């Protein structure tokens, strides 16, 4: 249980859902995890985080605040990894989607990731373990979904960013990958879930079941560990076979 012992990193969106699960798995593997969220703590009704998870308040769209936050968290120990999980969505047909909401989704889901990667780059480059960035993409990066077109757009951009950074920083002691979750319980998925959509989703995957967010943590742990030092520029689907499902 000490695969990541001595490593220090940041997970955004760590107060609940996927970010919370990833933070716990990484901490249980020995890492010190700074879980950054707007609340700065675990959301009400949830179990306390694993020892090793340190909740920190931060807004990923406040770039000046992020710069100071990253410098403070890096401190003397530096940073070994960054997991970009924070994201938002909104359900609305494309022809009626307010442009201000479209732009806000791209700011949170795309621009803030790029800025955090920039800010963490010098620390990750100096990591003795080889720096790692893991971005959370989505099935929506690969498949079209009705009423969440801006979200689909943002997640496709995350995959493009992941590949571009992986190539540009390949010789800078950095690996950059992404994880595409299938359908997992989260506050964001509840926003767009209806009985009809739920039935369609379950029919769309071979295992016909929603995933356990811990599985995403295990994939992140692998990508941050020593066994993944030659893997970069890839998007890993953890989706119950949804992308592979034909007829």
Pairing of strands 81-84, 32-37: unpaired
List pLDDT tens digits, range 195-227. 887 787 788 788 888 889 999 999 999 999 999
Rounded CA gap, 48 and 41, in Å? Answer: 9
Active site annotation includes 123 = no
> Which CATH number is 8-238 given?
3.40.50.720
List pLDDT tens digits, range 19-34. 999 999 999 999 999 9
**Do the beta carbons of residue 94 and residue 149 sit within 8 Å?**
yes
**Do the beta carbons of residue 40 and residue 55 sit within 8 Å?**
yes
In this prediction, residue 246 carries a pLDDT of 82
Cα dist from 147 to 103, 119, 237, whole Å: 16, 33, 22
Catalytic residue of the set 20, 121, 151, 230: 151
The residue whose two tokens read 């995959």 is 159
In this prediction, residue 185 carries a pLDDT of 67
List pLDDT tens digits, range 118-175. 999 999 999 999 999 999 999 999 999 999 999 999 999 999 999 999 999 999 999 9
Rounded CA gap, 9 and 26, in Å? Answer: 9
This prediction has a pTM of 0.94
């Amino acid at each position: 249980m000490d695969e990541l012992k001595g490593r220090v990193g940041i997970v955004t969106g760590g107060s609940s859902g996927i970010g919370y699960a990833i933070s716990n798995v990484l901490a249980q593997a020995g890492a010190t995890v700074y879980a950054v969220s707007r609340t700065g703590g675990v959301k009400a009704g949830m179990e306390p985080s694993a020892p090793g998870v340190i909740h920190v308040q931060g807004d990923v769209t406040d770039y000046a605040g992020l710069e100071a936050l990253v410098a403070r968290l890096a401190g003397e120990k530096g940073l070994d990894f960054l997991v970009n999980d924070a994201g938002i969505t909104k359900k609305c047909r494309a022809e009626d989607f307010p442009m201000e909401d479209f732009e806000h989704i791209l700011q949170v889901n795309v621009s803030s990731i790029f800025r955090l990667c920039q800010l963490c780059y010098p620390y990750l480059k100096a990591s003795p373990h080889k720096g790692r960035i893991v971005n959370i993409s989505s099935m929506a990066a690969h498949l079209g979904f009705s009423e969440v077109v801006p979200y689909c757009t943002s997640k496709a951009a995350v995959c493009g960013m992941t590949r571009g950074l992986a190539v540009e920083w390949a010789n800078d002691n950095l690996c950059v990958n992404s994880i595409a979750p299938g359908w997992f319980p989260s506050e964001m998925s509840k926003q767009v879930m209806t009985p009809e959509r739920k039935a369609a989703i379950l029919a769309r995957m071979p295992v016909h079941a929603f995933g356990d967010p811990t599985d995403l943590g295990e994939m992140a742990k692998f990508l941050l560990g020593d066994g993944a030092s030659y893997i970069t520029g890839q998007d890993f689907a953890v989706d119950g076979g949804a992308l592979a499902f034909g007829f």
